[in-house]
Structure 1
């Protein structure tokens, strides 16, 4: 193994409180939406792309209006996340220090453009990662983005760490072993490795 590619939400941190606050602020200001989102609402969308999330949250709107609303939510969310951060999982930095001494580290998330950068900006963890990718930047699926990072960085034997079935499916599409982060937001029954806590990666690798 020469590298580890991470999912972000539910794998490295829990950003739900911050994201929820920013999205509800945006919704209050948008004339086409009249609802308040809950943490449970967010949990059911973790790991999905923005167009999928908009269909779950706003099924009463047209596709065009869904995109308009989600674009506005993102416009409010990115700077809010950059200014407020999220809840890092325990011992994240120590784990990254340990792993980065042995492996190259990357992030591939199903987020919008600017979200990973906001994570970096607040928590100052970008020094541990060689590259990142997301569909907001490429328009590709998570599996395709994993492949893109592998090819772009000349990786020969990576693994992917994530917490949802979508992460598992993406790893399979990219042809890489999957490490299930059991502490995250999803349920997965098919995996090569399983960790109960983020720090288990130090033991596993």
Structure 2
């Protein structure tokens, strides 16, 4: 169906919201100046947005300087917590499916996450050797649609699909002008007329 496959991370390849929520609440407790309390359910509604958009949503009662301090500390504690975590946060069949797809397709990742998050995810999942390239908001300051195009241009990608789980992911593919595959098992609810998977393994029959 396509030569290359570009993946989202959160809600598509794994669910880290439980671990991340604890880390963010630790950061909020230290920085203060906001009444926000974060939970896994709250983060599932926020993940997929840019880091700035998440800060504006969660910490709307804080000034801009405090928002920056909060997000900076949240990201530090999040990275530490995920690095130390030993529980399996991956959705079923992720590693096996990516390994199989990588035999015939190039695999890429684009996320609205902070710098270092994709690298940490790949290391935890043990899939570094199967991913050709990746891009994120933290490295470029650009929204997902632009980062998809940037990655495609860098890798001379002409035939690809993006696998994601939110309305924002779908809208990003419209900007990037590539097909969208909706991971229905993830965090979001997307209304579109494209292809849908109920588990990542279903990609094998589509590729």
Larger deviation, residues 68-77 vs 175-184: 68-77
Matches within 5 A, 1:84-99: 84=85, 87-99=89-101
Q: Which residue of 2 aligns with 1:127?
A: 129
CA distance, structure 1, for counterparts of residue 105 and residue 166 of structure 2: 23
Secondary structure, aligned partner of 1:106: strand
Secondary structure, aligned partner of 1:98: helix
Structure 2: give runs of 5+ residues left out of the alignment: none
2:27 pairs with 1:20? no
Question: How far 1:122 sits from its partner (Å)?
Answer: 2.1
Aligned residues: 205
RMSD: 1.3
Secondary structure, aligned partner of 1:95: helix
Question: How far 1:35 sits from its partner (Å)?
Answer: 4.3
Structure 1: give runs of 5+ residues left out of the alignment: none
Q: Which residue of 2 aligns with 1:148?
A: 150
Larger deviation, residues 39-48 vs 146-155: 39-48
Q: Which residue of 2 aligns with 1:67?
A: 68
Structure 1 runs (4+) deviating above 4 angstroms are none
Secondary structure, aligned partner of 1:151: helix
Question: How far 1:191 sits from its partner (Å)?
Answer: 4.1
CA distance, structure 2, for counterparts of residue 36 and residue 147 of structure 1: 35
Instruction: Check whether the contact 1:27–1:33 (CA below 8 A) recurs between aligned residues.
Output: yes
Instruction: Check whether the contact 1:79–1:118 (CA below 8 A) recurs between aligned residues.
Output: no
Q: Which residue of 2 aligns with 1:161?
A: 163
Instruction: Check whether the contact 2:35–2:61 (CA below 8 A) recurs between aligned residues.
Output: no
CA distance, structure 1, for counterparts of residue 23 and residue 32 of structure 2: 16
Secondary structure, aligned partner of 1:42: helix
TM (normalized to structure 1)? Answer: 0.95
TM (normalized to structure 2)? Answer: 0.94
Question: How far 1:15 sits from its partner (Å)?
Answer: 0.7
Instruction: Check whether the contact 1:181–1:196 (CA below 8 A) recurs between aligned residues.
Output: yes
